[in-house]
Amino acid sequence: MDQPPRTAQLSDAPSQPAPPRSAPLRIALAGLGTVGAGVIRLIEANADLIARRAGRKLAITAISARDRSKPRGIDISAYAWEDDMAAMAARADVDVVVEMIGGADGPALALARSALAGGKALVTANKAMIAHHGLALAAAAEAAGVALRFEAAVAGGIPVIKGLREGTAANAIERVYGILNGTCNFILSTMEDTGADFAAVLAEAQRRGFAEADPAFDIEGTDAAHKLAILAAIAFGTRIDFAGVETAGIARLLAADIAQADALGYVIRLIGMAETEVGPDGACRLFQRVQPHLVPRAHPLAHVDGATNAVVAEGNFSGRLLFQGAGAGDGPTASAVVADLIDIARERAGSAVPGAPFSVPVGELESLPRAPSGHRRSRSYIRFTVADRPGVLAELTAAMRDAGVSIESLIQKGRGGGDGADAVGVLVAMVSHEGPEAGVTEALRLLEGSDSLTSAPLVMHLLGE
């Protein structure tokens, strides 16, 4: 009787030799702070897994930092120490330089330039350096035929740069926005949960290590603006314009603002937003802004709490995409740095080629004029702290009327004290109907110098769902 055909088993197949592995990717690491030490720990802990995924080993051959004797919780004795970072970058046994020093200029920039000029690939987590000098560094990388990678510069361990550069490559991105600073998000969500005012929560964030001793870089919005400028360049194929980011921080927020937003069905988050728009002359313009917003509870960003980051990208075919995760810390940030190293290892192994750092070659990036915010239509939250006397409310509403601002709701609180208003003032908050932002600006101009105001007004826009 005929036998049924025999199904081949895995054991029947002739054994195939494993493909030859390329030589290790040799790494020089400058900066052994929290993240730099985390990179070493990650490469050591996951060495075999990384080698399988990269097609070759990652080998740290040289390191450099300011203080060789500082305890870091890792054993650095196996790596060659270089006091001179430029000499480290020039070593013949180095393929890629990892810059973990920080700062827009100074030693970090000098190292980046020397590495690329010497034909070494560069990986950095330095958002300030990329925001200020990224185009020049990208041009140097292209000229040398080496990779420039900076995934860890934006949103820590969230692969948002790779997502925009590769995952949405077929889409025209219409808008990119999100929560880009974990310190601010921790402060705002804690104010929400506890009812405490800004100063008390900031002090607690500093005690717990969520905020720096000098928190200005975070709370004034500069850190988020650096990240937004980078995301905008990648999303829209435009030249970085950090100076064009309209920036406002969170230091003037009161517990009363948080409570009022809650009563209206919103939470307050520091939002970085970038989008392109067509001006009245038919030319495309770039709008970039970092500012506290009232976010509706139905929006995904309303549920991002603590030190978490989240980025929303809206593509014309992909629709709304949400990238969310830990935006800082040694583990998540080191993860993004090593992911960049794995990409470079694959490129040098011949399975990929270096891609343009900003999605397209530097020479093809568009230089767009800045879009003014005045014509943008939005609903606005305007908070005044005013003298407690008759006629003040009429003065405020008259200014709004004369500027063409329609008031949707008005809330007058009692004397400041516990709700965070000035101790000698009364808090008045208004929410406008949708209209040009220039109207609100004009209303505030009309109120300039009024002795009815005991402090400068605060304006926040409402994020659409």
β-sheet bridge partners, residue 426: 386, 415
Structure tokens at 257: 């603002």
Q: 426 to each of 63, 192, 253, 340, 401, how far by Cα in Å?
A: 58, 21, 15, 53, 21
Question: Which pair of tokens denotes residue 76?
Answer: 């650095």
Q: Which of 80, 87, 82, 136 is nearest to 115 (CA)?
A: 87
Is 227 considered catalytic here? yes
Q: Are 365 and 233 in contact (CB under 8 A)?
A: yes
Nearest-angstrom CA–CA distance, 344 and 357: 12
CB 48 within 8 A of CB 65: no
Q: Which two tokens stand for residue 251?
A: 């230091």
- The CA dihedral of 73, 77, 78, 81, to the nearest 10 degrees, is 110
Q: Is the dihedral of CA 339, 341, 346, 350 positive or negative?
A: positive
Q: What is the DSSP letter of 166?
A: I
SS3 assignment, position 265: coil
Task: Read off φ and ψ for residue 85, nearest 5 degrees.
Answer: -65, -35
Q: What are phi and psi of 409, to 5 degrees?
A: -150, 155
Copy the structure tokens of residue 91: 């070593």
**CB-based contacts of 348, cutoff 8 Å, min separation 6:** 22, 25, 56, 95
- Ranges assigned E (strand) in 364-425: 377-378, 380-386, 407-415
In b/e form, how buried is each residue of 298-313, taking b as 16+ CB within 10 angstroms? Answer: ebebbebbebbbbbbb
Query: Is residue 311 a contact partner of residue 167, using CB atoms and an 8 Å limit?
Result: no
Residue 128 CB neighbour total at 10 angstroms: 20
Catalytic residue among 120, 127, 227, 413: 227
Question: Angle 255-264/182-194 helices, nearest 10 degrees?
Answer: 80
Max Cα–Cα distance, the chain, nearest Å: 108
Sign of the torsion angle spanned by Cα atoms 171, 175, 178, 180: positive
Residue 60: closest CA among 52, 70, 50: 50
Rounded Cα distance, 412 and 426, in Å: 7
- What positions carry a catalytic annotation? 227
